[in-house]
With several copies, the nearest count.
Chain A
Amino acid sequence: MTAPAPAQDALAREVRQWLARNWDPNLSLAEWRERLADAGWGQPTWPTEYYGRGLNAEQALVVQAEFARIGAVGPATAGPRGLAAATLLEHGSDAQKKRYLRGITTGRDAWCQLFSEPGSGSDLAGATTRADWDGARWIVNGQKVWNTSAHHADYGILVARTDWNLPKHQGLSYFLIRMKQPGVEVRPLKQMNGHASFNEVFFTDAVVEADDLVGKPGQGWQVALTTLSHERAGFTSIRGAEKLRHGDQRIYREYAREIEIANEPYTWYPQRAGRIDMLLDRARESGAIEDPVARQEIAGAIALQRCLGWFGARGLAKGPAGSIAKLAASRVARAGNRAHTIVSGIDALFEGPDSPRDGIVGEILLSTPATSIAGGTDEVQKNIIAERILELPREPRFDDGPFKDVPRN
């Protein structure tokens, strides 16, 4: 640890003083976050005119440290709202920032992301959900999928096609859409492991107001890239059940509930990752710890996971190298599945209460296949590595003409 610079000292003092005057764990979560938004301390890096303080990332750490020191709750962060905020800050109009950022940071409004479609998975830019201008508003028709928390959401960030005569990346536009309207139907999508963490969203003449277009028509892909880069940065970190508990006051109870709701879709994520952490204990339980062949599998799985952890911890997983970490995570998940199978033997037949560890083992076996698909398939990651890191030639293009002529599903 190096000593804080004098300017940082002053900043810390300022935050401390403000917290001393304003922080009150008996406030409601909403009341407190309104105060945060007014003062800008909740989002130190946001501009001062939009509920922030215009500080840099290093300064923001100083602010957060002061919050943590006394257990003060921060702004709303759960779910895709952070992606919406980051995108708006970079591409939104002044009016849009004014209109939406406050509701994002206070937690008043929930958001969802509406990018993937049944017909365009790896090929996100092949979206065919359409938005047509009727002279006053955009009319949206089509279907999105894999939309986490869409059933809770007030707003969505939406990529839709507005011009079918341009090449595919040029005909997309980026919208903010009200989710609570008649033309939007949200249906839960059940996964093979029995959870329903995602939704399908159907649009039938849903409406987007003119001033909810982000950027210009046709700039949707560039705007979406901002969202995606923020999403990718968050993917490889494993979501845990975040615990911040300083007392029993009202705000902590509300905050705990907020986290619980936010984490609800992710309870199976540790299983998706292969639960390498459980292997040795499970092997002791089942007796496989005495089996040299099982020990080989366990060693291989643990080694992979350690290497992935070290790779990430050394800050190597940035930019295209994030794809290396993503592929390594797929290997960890597969190795975990194999090792848990051999460790459990006949018990791998079961699910739910009859599966070891109250169903966790069964859930591992049924969840690991998601790791190499969600957030960009292994195949896409390999293309990225081959083309951007190894600098091998790109795949020949078959989709660079007018989109209406491009073969699609």
Chain B
Amino acid sequence: MEFRFNDEQAQLRDVVARFCRDKAPSSAVRRVMATDTGHDHDAWRQMGAELGLIALHVPEDMGGLGFGAVELGIVMEELGRSLLPVPYLSSVLATSALAEIEDAAVREPLMAALVSGSKLATLVLDSTNGHPVSGELVAQDDRLTGSVRAVLDGHRADLLLVVVRAPHAPTLFAVDAASSGLTKRPLQVMDRTRRFAGFRFEQVPAARLGTLDDAQVERIYDTALVALANEMAGGAQALLEATVAYTRTRVQFGRTIGSFQAIKHRLADLLVDVELAKVAGYQAAAALAAGEDVSANASLAKFVTADAYMGAAREAIQLHGGIGFTWEHDTHLWYRRAKSSEVFLGTPAWHRERMIREMTA
């Protein structure tokens, strides 16, 4: 039932899958979860230096490997099949935003630092961009003021790439995380494998990288959605597989619980959810790669995969029974990731509305 990717893409999937399998057994995830940064620095270094994944989607003329959204989707899906705690998504968001800057002289030094992994950046969008983020920022004389509720990997990023719309056209700024006037508040998150921090900006000096048009801002946002959607599809798949495996071995009333027809039918329904979620992710990635207007389908992918993931997480706990509700069993780690992903970058309801808005614009 796998959509046929080409050989190179299949290889890429294998490499990432093997890497995640090696790096993210439950014990490793739990060990990293308990650290301050919540990131597996060793794995992250290897993803950059050895696997080249940080540079994967960055155009070759910008120092990247020049792969497209389809390959990025593959990496995200495989990462999503594990809980490997690395700041890949924030890195993708930041480098995608930076790639929109045409002025090479401005872009180059930053991109080089990000792609090499020597600096970690994340992307900050505020609600004035029309995205479901709480907080607003204003740029005045290249100083930023305002606040943003939750920034992905903000607790650890060296650099914030900030899209500010007010009071002028959307502009991409770079802000050093150590700037004066910037107050960072690491947040206690439900999904401890994916951290967020809140920021308050008071006259924070910012480097103006360039203005963006609305289409560019939307493309950055859509790229984020599609990446997250593919990750969620992978997570849903992982939960389905784990749950099916469990029902095949767990015995109650003298038979495996996977032999009960009511369970079988629910797992069949879940498989349908997951398969449709996967194609939603693939299709959005392919459309993005083809340069099509992807906003409607990016939102579609976000809510279809989020619903499938949450559904899979709910069923996983239910079908594991009591053990599924315990701390020591991994199911809740996935449930937390699913819940976190459901609301990050906009709830499913928000994206259903956006899809209709895009379709009727």
**Residues of A with Cβ closer than 8 Å to B?**
116, 118-123, 126, 145-146, 189-192, 194, 280, 289, 292-296, 298-300, 302-304, 306-308, 310-311, 314-316, 321, 323-324, 327-328, 331, 334, 341-342, 344-355, 362, 365-366, 369-370, 372-374, 377-379, 381-383, 385-387, 389-393, 395, 397-400, 406-409
One of B19-27, B70-78, B342-350 contacting the partner: B342-350
Residue of A345, A362, A377, A379 near B190 (CB, 8 A) is: A362
Report if B35 contacts A (CB, 8 A): no
A392→B259 contact, CB < 8 A: yes
One of B36-44, B53-61, B102-110, B332-340 contacting the partner: B332-340
B288 to chain A, nearest CB (A): 14
Question: Given A369-B314, A386-B268, are A146 and B149 also a contact pair (CB < 8 Å)?
Answer: no
Residue of B1, B149, B268, B356 near A316 (CB, 8 A) is: B1
B328 to chain A, nearest CB (A): 7
B252→A126 contact, CB < 8 A: yes
A121 to chain B, nearest CB (A): 5
Question: Given A192-B325, A346-B149, are A307 and B254 also a contact pair (CB < 8 Å)?
Answer: no
Compute how far the CA of A407 lies from the CA of B259 in the bound complex, rounded to whole angstroms. Answer: 13
A123→B252 contact, CB < 8 A: yes
Interface residues on B, range: 35 or more
Compute how far the CA of A406 lies from the CA of B321 in the bound complex, rounded to whole angstroms. Answer: 21
For B347, the chain A residues whose CB sits under 8 A away are 341-342, 345
B271→A365 contact, CB < 8 A: no
Report if B263 contacts A (CB, 8 A): yes
Question: Given A146-B322, A327-B268, are A121 and B1 also a contact pair (CB < 8 Å)?
Answer: no
B280→A303 contact, CB < 8 A: yes
Report if B304 contacts A (CB, 8 A): yes
| Interface pairs (23), CB distance under 8 Å | A120-B252, A126-B252, A294-B349, A299-B352, A302-B355, A303-B280, A306-B280, A307-B280, A316-B2, A327-B269, A334-B314, A347-B134, A350-B187, A351-B189, A354-B188, A355-B188, A373-B318, A373-B321, A381-B268, A390-B244, A392-B244, A393-B256, A409-B249
Q: Which 8 A-B pairs have the closest CB atoms?
A: A399-B254, A192-B332, A386-B264, A299-B352, A398-B254, A190-B327, A393-B259, A385-B268
Residue of B254, B327, B350 near A408 (CB, 8 A) is: B254
User: Besides A190-B328, A295-B352, 19 other CB < 8 A contacts?
Assistant: A122-B321, A191-B326, A191-B327, A303-B352, A310-B283, A311-B279, A315-B4, A327-B269, A341-B339, A345-B347, A353-B188, A365-B339, A369-B324, A374-B322, A379-B262, A379-B265, A385-B272, A397-B254, A399-B253
For B349, the chain A residues whose CB sits under 8 A away are 293-294, 296, 342
For B238, the chain A residues whose CB sits under 8 A away are none
Consensus secondary structure, chain A interface: helix
A407→B251 contact, CB < 8 A: yes
A259 to chain B, nearest CB (A): 26
Residue of A at shortest CB range from B283? A310
**Count of inter-chain pairs, beta carbons less than 8 A:** 249
B263 to chain A, nearest CB (A): 7
Question: Given A349-B189, A372-B318, are A406 and B3 also a contact pair (CB < 8 Å)?
Answer: no
For B190, the chain A residues whose CB sits under 8 A away are 348-351, 355, 362, 365-366
B1→A349 contact, CB < 8 A: no
Compute how far the CA of A142 lies from the CA of B209 in the bound complex, rounded to whole angstroms. Answer: 66
Compute how far the CA of A384 lies from the CA of B318 in the bound complex, rounded to whole angstroms. Answer: 18
Compute how far the CA of A354 lies from the CA of B267 in the bound complex, rounded to whole angstroms. Answer: 35
B337 to chain A, nearest CB (A): 11
A378→B318 contact, CB < 8 A: yes
A369→B325 contact, CB < 8 A: yes
Interface centre among B1, B256, B342, B353 (most CB of A within 10 A): B1
A349→B250 contact, CB < 8 A: no
B282→A299 contact, CB < 8 A: no
A390→B252 contact, CB < 8 A: no
For A296, the chain B residues whose CB sits under 8 A away are 349, 352-353
Report if B255 contacts A (CB, 8 A): yes
A346→B265 contact, CB < 8 A: no
B40 to chain A, nearest CB (A): 21
For A334, the chain B residues whose CB sits under 8 A away are 314
Residue of A at shortest CB range from B134? A346
A306→B300 contact, CB < 8 A: yes
For A399, the chain B residues whose CB sits under 8 A away are 253-255
Residue of A280, A328, A390, A409 near B267 (CB, 8 A) is: A390
Residue of A298, A369, A407 near B335 (CB, 8 A) is: A369
For A331, the chain B residues whose CB sits under 8 A away are 272
A121→B322 contact, CB < 8 A: yes
Report if B258 contacts A (CB, 8 A): yes
Compute how far the CA of A374 lies from the CA of B329 in the bound complex, rounded to whole angstroms. Answer: 16
Residue of B191, B264, B314 near A382 (CB, 8 A) is: B264
B3→A314 contact, CB < 8 A: yes
B270 to chain A, nearest CB (A): 9
For B314, the chain A residues whose CB sits under 8 A away are 334, 369
